[in-house]
Structure formats: structure tokens, C-alpha cells
Amino acid sequence: MICVYGAGSIGCYVGGRLAAAGADVVFVGRERIAAEVRAHGLRLTDLDGADERVPAPRYETDPAAAADADLVLVAVKSAATADAAAQLAPLLRPGTPVVSFQNGLRNAATLRSGLPEAVVIPGMVAFNVVHRGDGAFHRGTGGGLEAQAHPALAPHLDAFARAAMPLALHDDLLGVQAAKLLLNLNNAVNALSGLPLRTELSQRPYRRVLARAQREALAAYKAAGIRPAKTAGADPRLVPHVLGLPDALFTRIAARMLAVDPHARSSTADDLAAGRPTEVDYLNGEIAALAAEHGAAAPVNERLTALVHAAEAGGRRDFTGPELLAAVVRPD
């Protein structure tokens, strides 16, 4: 049995696709989603036209449902990782593979310290999922699932392949996670813009904010000896230059970055909209912390982190591009 622990947008989509392809999946999450899924089942769609249904998924709110899972997929937000590990620790058999399908760089380490007897494997979800309500979850971008190669995953690879979501395996996932974090630096920009991702990324001033945040991250990675992997064949060091291009040129050169469902927003924007604390401390805040650890500065990421915290407390989340650029480049 595969247990999805923290079944929200990513967990319901990934677990739902696995279940639709015949895997035995148990979802563990909150009552509000349990009630929705009980009433409507799960519907999984994507931008390529897939449309699958799981009429009666097993969605539980009691952590005990994870007992004796053969594979656990953790999909809680980063601030909830330590609690999830504490809940899972008494339930899992020693050696159970536990994959972190979370953003950021440190969730696998957090899981490892709470689950010393499990085999914790870092993973990465490259695509965006929009929760449309009534049990419907939509993949709004391209991209797949990635994980660190580990023999404990071998018995489960077929389940992912059957669901047309093969796990791409890497010898060292840190470079892949670091590359994903470069993209996730846009989560804050997107949340503060109040716009869908595609609209926001179509506007150069927002992209210039992201380019500055990425340049700080690349400098921090260099100081820390982290080499971000190529994303879709592109050298991450070139991306800030591309982001700074005028709109017409960017639209032509980076069409792939704009191939996003018109309604999709970042998970940070989803959190703000739902009144939940965001993961900004694990995204832009991670870059600020990494820079500080290596005697460097990351003022743009620090400022974005502060602005998202202000938005969590009721502050602005409707910055125009020029306003946001001015706010991060020349803070009050």
C-alpha cells in the first residue's frame, strides 16, 4: 500500500493518478479535503487533455491509516514536516521508503531526523497543481516527478510508470532541488502580484525581481558548493539574463516558461489566498540563510520574505511589477 501523507494539491494529484492506474493508495490529510473527496471522489486532469477519476478513494484523517505502508509520499508544506515525521515514526516498519515530494532543500533532512529507521529519499515535483474544488485537481504545467535513486524504490517504479508519471532518478538530487528552488523564488513574486503565473511572468518588471532573486541564489550556491542542475536543458546561470529580456523577445525565447494554465498560481499564492502560513522561509528565506552562512548578502530574497510575511498578516498582495521592483531594490 502507498500512503500519501498530507494529501492536499500535490498529494491528491500524485496519489490520485497512482490510484487511477490501479495502485493501492491511502490518503492521509485534513477533514475539509476528506469531506470533499468523500462527496465527489477525485478527478485528475492535465493540460494535455488527460481526465481520470477515482470514484471512492480511501481518504483518512487519522495518521494510523499510514501504519505498515510499503511506501510513503510526504506532501505536507515544509513547516509541517517535523510533525508529520513524529506522527509517522511509531507507525512505519523499519526500512520503509519515505519520499519527500516537497519544495525547498531541507525537508528530507527533517524527515530523516524524525524517522531514523525509515529510508528517507528526497524527491521533487516539477509541475504545478491547481485545486479546482469538488475533488478536482489539475496539472497546470509540464514537468514530472524526480527522486534520488535508491534500491528501496525499485518495487514501486512500475506503479509510477503505469500512471504515466515515471519517477526520473538521479544519483544526487541536491542539484535538482537547487534548480527547482531557483524557480520557486518566483512563488513570492507571484503571491505578491496577485496575478496568475502566466500573467505575472509575461510582465518584465516582475521577471526583473525574479532575476535579481535568482542571481543572489546562484551566488549563494556557488559559495556553498551547490551546483544547480540544468532545467529543460537550460543552464540556470543564463536564466536571469533571459528573464530580463523585453516582453516580446521573452515570449518568443521562453515560450516554455509561459506554457502554464492561465489560472495557475504558485503554491505560496494559494496559501495566502487560503489564509495559511506560507513556505517563504523555506524558499526565499532559505537563500537568505544560505547567503548569510557563507558571509554573503541576499537583500532581494530577504525583502521578498518580509513582504510575504507582511501579506500573511494582512498586508499588500497586489503589487504592480514596478512597485514590487522598487520595494525590493530600494526597501523603506
Ligand X SMILES: NC(=O)C1=CN([C@@H]2O[C@H](COP(=O)(O)OP(=O)(O)OC[C@H]3O[C@@H](n4cnc5c(N)ncnc54)[C@H](OP(=O)(O)O)[C@@H]3O)[C@@H](O)[C@H]2O)C=CC1
Ligand Y SMILES: CC(C)(CO)C(=O)C(=O)O
Residue 269 in contact with residue 131, Cβ under 8 Å?
Answer: no
Site string for ligand X, 241-270 (x = CB under 6 A): --------------------------x---
CA–CA gap between residue 162 and residue 22 (Å, rounded)? 8
With binding defined as CB under 6 A, does residue 33 bind ligand X? yes
Using the structure block, give the residue that is written with the C-alpha cell 559559495. Answer: 223
Binding site for ligand Y (CB under 6 A): 103, 127-128, 141, 183-184, 187, 266-267
Nearest-approach distance from CB 282 to ligand Y, in angstroms? 11
Q: Which of 22, 24, 30, 117 binds ligand X (CB under 6 A)?
A: 30
CA–CA gap between residue 109 and residue 40 (Å, rounded)? 36
Question: Is 106 buried (19+), middle (13-18) or exposed (0-12) by CB count in 10 A?
Answer: middle
Q: Which stretch binds ligand X (CB under 6 A): 46-54, 101-109, 253-261, 313-321?
A: 101-109
Which helix (H) or strand (E) covers residue 72, if one does? strand 71-74
Q: Which of 96, 128, 148, 177 binds ligand X (CB under 6 A)?
A: 128
Dihedral sign (CA 21, 26, 29, 30): positive
Nearest-approach distance from CB 266 to ligand Y, in angstroms? 4
Contact partner at residue 150 from ligand Y, ligand X, none, CB < 5 to 8 Å by partner kind: none
With binding defined as CB under 6 A, does residue 15 bind ligand X? no
With binding defined as CB under 6 A, does residue 110 bind ligand X? no
- Judged by CB, which is closer to ligand Y: 127, or 160? 127
Residue 244 in contact with residue 204, Cβ under 8 Å?
Answer: yes
Question: Is 320 buried (19+), middle (13-18) or exposed (0-12) by CB count in 10 A?
Answer: middle
- Judged by CB, which is closer to ligand X: 184, or 214? 184
Q: Which of 18, 75, 118, 147 binds ligand X (CB under 6 A)?
A: 75
Contact partner at residue 183 from ligand Y, ligand X, none, CB < 5 to 8 Å by partner kind: ligand Y
With binding defined as CB under 6 A, does residue 103 bind ligand X? yes
State which residue has the least CB distance to ligand X.
8
Q: Which of 265, 298, 296 is nearest to 284 (CA)?
A: 298
DSSP for 269-290, written as a single string: HHHHHHT---SGGGTHHHHHHH
Give the residues lining the site for ligand X (CB under 6 A): 6, 8-11, 28-30, 33, 75-78, 80, 83-84, 87, 101-103, 125, 128-129, 267, 276, 279
